[in-house]
Amino acid sequence: MINNLESQIGEVLSVSRNAAHTFSKQTFEAIRLLAGLGVEGDAHMGKTVKHRSRVAQNPNQPNLRQVHFIHSELFDELRDAGFHVEPGQLGENITTRGIDLLGLPTGTKLYIGETAVVEMTGLRNPCTQIDHFQSGLLREVVDRDENGNLVRKAGVMGIVLTGGEVRTGDPVRVILPAEPFRPLERV
């Protein structure tokens, strides 16, 4: 399955940011990624953590959550379960289509648009705020696999290696890290 991941070329369905610490983010035609920082004008931009729960633990830890991605196929799955979710509403910066984000190994690089490169650092850990957005949604974005292991489906996080503008419709190309592959874990 991993070999098929590198041949994936997806696209950017939507881009979002918000200067305030709110659950959802406003969609735009384009966002600018800044190397080592994240999304320009977003509350989570910075070299050190900006997510409130992480800041409370240790405000000096590196920000491994500079850019939040969600695959739009999750929205299709949620719609089938009776929920209505649009891009940006779950707090993601980049909504993709055509890439198995959750199946990527740690260290995968996503080449987006003309210049931007983001390295995958881990999985988003969905929290109860999702149920405040839509009651019952948390149980839809957290699942168990056939072995009883927790499966987090609310997106992946990354750090910006090379900045640039990211626009709706931009291609996204997957480049896998050197083996051995390490699965994405909660960050």
Q: Where are the domains of the chain?
A: 2-175
Neighbouring CB atoms inside 10 A of 146's CB total: 5
pLDDT for 4: 64
pLDDT for 1: 46
CA separation for the pair 155, 92 (Å, rounded): 8
CA separation for the pair 46, 62 (Å, rounded): 9
Superfamily of structural domain 2-175: PK beta-barrel domain-like (2.40.33.20)
pLDDT for 80: 97
**Burial (Cβ within 10 Å: 0-12, 13-18, ≥19) of residue 167:** middle
Sign of CA dihedral 94, 166, 8, 82: positive
Report which DSSP code applies to 62: B
Q: Which residues pair with 164 in a beta bridge?
A: 33
Cβ 159 vs Cβ 66: under 8 Å:
yes
Tens-level pLDDT at each residue, the chain (187 residues): 455 666 679 999 999 999 999 999 999 999 999 999 999 999 999 999 987 787 888 889 999 999 999 999 999 999 999 999 999 999 999 999 999 999 999 999 999 999 999 999 999 988 889 999 999 999 999 999 999 999 999 999 999 999 999 999 999 999 999 999 999 999 9
pLDDT for 54: 79
Report which DSSP code applies to 104: P
